[in-house]
Amino acid sequence: MSILVIEDDITLNKNIKTALSAENFIVESIFDGLLAERMLKKDNFDCVIMDVNLPGKTGFDLCRNFRNFNTKTPVLMLTAFSELDDKIKGFECGADDYLTKPFLMRELILRVNALIKRSRNHNPKENTQIIAGDIIINQSAKKVIRQGQEISLTPREYQILIKLCKSSGEIISKGELMKEIWGKTMDANTNTIEVYISFLRNKLDKPFNKNSIRTKIGYGYYLNVE
């Protein structure tokens, strides 16, 4: 399995490459955002690790542009900041996970393995259609339609919506969503789920004057399309 590490700190880049190589990953290292963008367009990787603060092009811009032509390869963003706004911006750009510096290499490896596993568990032959009220999901094309209008979702937003739709109105706890989508490497007490639920509501409900994604305080989330 191949990993692209985009980090301008030479020492950290080397340490990440050494740790991943010890786990039998094939690792490519790069230190510049513009050069990384060319490589992402040219080669395929099983996972991309990118720093937020890069010369040439920031990780936010790099990830956003990457998602224009690749929505499947998981992206793990690295940052020296832990503020919620930075995490939200990273997720909005299409990142799948977030790791704040300094971090343990073991945690990095666990998160990379979880991201790759989730990505590979996707069934490309799945072609069933999910209909929930006026929401139509074409699973083979990864398209979400509401009232005839296509809604552009990030991979994580899409996964959460699928989980809510398949639960047929039953309440899904935050912990269950975390485990289902991020695996056991994420802390269920983080606000990641709240951030993504907010993203989904802004895209799926707000433009259509709907209130489909509901919260039952203290329990979790459910979909109401009646």
Q: What is the mean pLDDT of the chain?
A: 87
Query: So what's the pLDDT on residue 185?
Result: 55
Residue 121: DSSP 8-state: T
Query: So what's the pLDDT on residue 25?
Result: 94
- Measure the CA–CA gap between 53 and 188, rounded to whole angstroms: 27
- Measure the CA–CA gap between 188 and 115, rounded to whole angstroms: 16
Task: Tell me the residue ranges of DSSP E strands in 12-169.
Answer: 26-30, 47-51, 75-79, 97-100, 129-132, 135-138, 143-146, 149-151
Average pLDDT, integer, range 185-205: 80
Convert the pLDDT of each residue in 61-89 to its tens digit.
Answer: 999 999 888 888 999 999 877 666 777 78
List the single range of 6-15, 25-34, 112-121, 207-216 with lowest mean pLDDT: 112-121
Q: What are the sequence ranges of the domains in the chain?
A: 2-120, 129-223
Q: Under CATH, which architecture does the 129-223 domain have?
A: Orthogonal Bundle (1.10)
Better pLDDT: 155 or 207: 207
pTM given for the model: 0.61
The topology (CATH level 3) of 2-120 is: Rossmann fold (3.40.50)
Residue 93 — very low, low, confident or very high, per pLDDT cuts 50/70/90?
A: confident
Query: So what's the pLDDT on residue 189?
Result: 54
Convert the pLDDT of each residue in 158-177 to its tens digit.
Answer: 989 999 988 878 899 888 88
